[in-house]
């Protein structure tokens, strides 16, 4: 018999800070670059086509001695039963003994690590003097993307927000985002500390909703896309030299957020090459022959560890295709488990 920690959504949200998650996700990419990780094949099953499915993403962080999985289910008719349609659970194990270390609600961890991933792409590939951020999409993940990118970058002064379906969603987010950033992200840090002052200053910028995506693209230095789109929202002819894209939404075959022809003139980076060409934004450009798998410059971890070059000039258009990998969930979960142990939070269960 041994003890295992169980952490719910509220405890995780209370103790997890975005700056620390950015550091953790960077660590994941570094370990992957150093070949100290392993991703296991993804499992996907449809219980009923278009109504109920599940997927399991899993892996091993050899450099940290943990392995585990994230299981996400989608049951589209759960609202009839007063249940959320999307439910995620993470399990973390000790890779030296096989002992389970924790069971965690996956929702907040997924949002945080996804936001961190998009931001890391911008941090390492966008121009350092970038001032204008365009957020495409206003769903749940958009707040995490904005928070992480502002924390990771030093000179963003304006955030424009665009919703491809309903402009009112962009307007509402632009009006509420500053309060959300202060209450949900800045509040994790002690008032008066250097980190508090730094993040507070980065959040104190201008936010606006935009209705003309063509004009917004032309004004933007960094563009983050986080939608479920299956057709391009941004066309190549709108994109100015020096623009960086972090493409977050495409995580399934057939999804697409930007014109595939942009890939033909861009330096392309990914979180995992095999996932990117199969289910990421890179999938369609490869299938249409605009680029090949070999045209991908590198995985982002190789840029962080300086095994590969990132942006070469201010005129480069750069793309970071992040499909999301289980390793991000696992190391973020390890961070949460460690903090919860220090603070005496969560529930311990005897198995």
- How many Å apart are CA 141 and CA 147, to the nearest integer? 10
* Contact criterion met (CB below 8 Å) for 141 and 111: yes
Which residue reads 């940290």 in tokens?
Answer: 64
- How many Å apart are CA 38 and CA 21, to the nearest integer? 20
* Contact criterion met (CB below 8 Å) for 318 and 245: yes
Direct distance between the N- and C-terminal alpha carbons of the chain, in angstroms, rounded to an integer = 6
- How many Å apart are CA 59 and CA 66, to the nearest integer? 9
CA angle 215, 219, 220 (to 5 degrees): 120
Half-sphere exposure of 261 (CA within 13 A, CB side): 7
Which region holds residue 264: left if phi is over 0, alpha if psi is between -120 and 50, else beta?
A: alpha
| Rg of the chain in Å (alpha carbons) | 20
- How many Å apart are CA 52 and CA 30, to the nearest integer? 35
* Contact criterion met (CB below 8 Å) for 326 and 57: yes
- Active-site residues: which are they? 70
* Contact criterion met (CB below 8 Å) for 4 and 100: yes
> What is the token pair recorded at 48?
């009923």
Task: Cite the beta strand spans of the chain per DSSP E.
Answer: 3-7, 37-39, 43-48, 52-61, 66-75, 86-94, 100-105, 132-136, 158-162, 206-209, 222-225, 230-234, 244-247, 256-258, 266-270, 298-299, 317-321, 347-350
């Amino acid at each position: 018999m041994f003890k295992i920690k169980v952490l719910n959504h509220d405890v995780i949200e209370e103790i997890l800070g975005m700056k620390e998650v950015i550091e953790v996700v960077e660590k994941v990419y570094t370990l992957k670059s150093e070949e100290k990780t392993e991703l296991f094949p993804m499992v996907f099953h449809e219980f009923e086509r278009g109504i109920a499915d599940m997927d399991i993403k899993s892996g091993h962080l050899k450099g940290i001695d943990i392995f585990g999985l994230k299981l996400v289910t989608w049951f589209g008719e759960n609202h009839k039963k007063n249940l959320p349609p999307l439910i995620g659970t993470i399990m973390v194990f000790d890779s030296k003994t096989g002992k389970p270390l924790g069971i965690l609600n996956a929702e907040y961890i997924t949002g945080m690590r996804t936001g961190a991933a998009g931001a890391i792409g911008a941090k390492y590939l966008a121009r350092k003097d970038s001032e204008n951020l365009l957020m495409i999409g206003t769903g749940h993940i958009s707040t995490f993307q904005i928070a992480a990118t502002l924390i990771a970058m030093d000179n963003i002064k304006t955030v424009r927000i665009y919703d491809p379906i309903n402009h009112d969603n962009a307007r509402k987010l632009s009006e509420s985002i500053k309060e959300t950033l202060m209450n949900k992200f800045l509040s994790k840090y002690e008032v008066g500390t250097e980190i508090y002052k730094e993040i507070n200053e980065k959040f104190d910028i201008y936010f606006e909703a935009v209705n003309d995506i063509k004009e917004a693209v032309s004004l933007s230095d960094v563009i983050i896309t986080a939608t479920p789109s299956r057709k391009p929202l941004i066309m190549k002819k709108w994109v100015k030299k020096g623009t960086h894209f972090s493409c977050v939404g495409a995580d399934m075959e057939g999804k697409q957020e930007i014109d595939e022809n942009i890939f033909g003139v861009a330096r392309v980076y990914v979180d995992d090459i095999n996932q990117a060409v199969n289910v990421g934004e890179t999938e369609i450009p490869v299938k249409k022959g605009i680029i090949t798998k070999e045209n991908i410059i590198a995985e982002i971890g190789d840029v962080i560890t300086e095994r590969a070059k990132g942006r070469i000039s201010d005129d480069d258009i750069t793309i970071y295709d992040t499909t999301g990998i289980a390793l991000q969930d696992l190391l973020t979960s390890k961070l949460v488990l460690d903090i919860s142990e220090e603070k005496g939070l969560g529930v311990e269960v005897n198995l």
